[in-house]
Amino acid sequence: MKSVVLSLALCSCILAIEAQRDPLPGTYRMVSSDRFDDYLQALGVNGLVRSIAAGIVPTNVIEIDSSGRYTVRTLTPLRNSEISFRLQQPFVENTSDGRKVTTVATRSGNVLTLNQRGSGGQKSTTIVREINGDTMINRLIVDNVTSVRVFKRIN
């Protein structure tokens, strides 16, 4: 009986430690960006909006609640956005570039992938967030264009 209780207590402690170690939740500020203008151009975003977007340094806030619901906030001086979702469950998303897409999020370890499927002539994109220590590599993919944005954890 004692060994069963001890085993259950040990399992509970291990699960609690693993939950605390989840590398994804946190607040990240962008430190570099490569080919973002190319990405926006491939999406059909006009030049004026692209030039404004190029000068913005976003902060991403990623949270996971106790029920497994993810919330990703993108904070900028001009506009904030927020999406909430559960893994593997499609949801409708209005993207910052003006598309209405159906998005499905998946996760493998320290990698969160959002597959955004456009309809009615709108482009489909993929956003991959990979956490390595205090660094988040954000890959934005459309057609044959990949933009890489690097963020550093600030909390």
Give the pLDDT of residue 2: 52
Residue 63, domain member (yes or no): yes
Residue 10, domain member (yes or no): no
Q: Provide the CATH number for the domain around residue 142.
A: 2.40.128.20
Residue 12, domain member (yes or no): no
Residue 86, domain member (yes or no): yes
**Which residues lie closer than 8 Å to 31 by C-beta, 6 or more apart?**
150, 151, 152
> Tokens 């913005």 belong to which residue?
56
Residue 107, domain member (yes or no): yes
Mean pLDDT of 20-41: 93
Domain that holds residue 61: 23-153
Quick check: 23 pLDDT over 60? yes
- The pTM of the full predicted model, rounded to 2 decimals, is 0.84
- Could you read off the pLDDT of 65-112 as tens digits, one per residue? 999 999 999 999 989 999 999 999 999 999 988 899 999 999 999 999
Residue 75, domain member (yes or no): yes
Residue 65, domain member (yes or no): yes
Counting residues of the chain whose pLDDT is more than 90, the rounded percentage is 79
Rounded to 5 degrees, what are φ and ψ at 104? -125, 125
Cα atoms in the Cβ-side hemisphere of radius 13 Å centred on 38: 14
Quick check: 10 pLDDT over 80? no
Give the pLDDT of residue 1: 54
Residue 3, domain member (yes or no): no
Q: Provide the number of structural domains found in the chain.
A: 1
- Could you read off the pLDDT of 136-154 as tens digits, one per residue? 999 999 999 999 999 999 9
- Per-residue burial over 67-95, b = 16 or more CB atoms within 10 Å of its CB, e = otherwise: eeebebbbeeeeeeeebebeeeeeeebeb
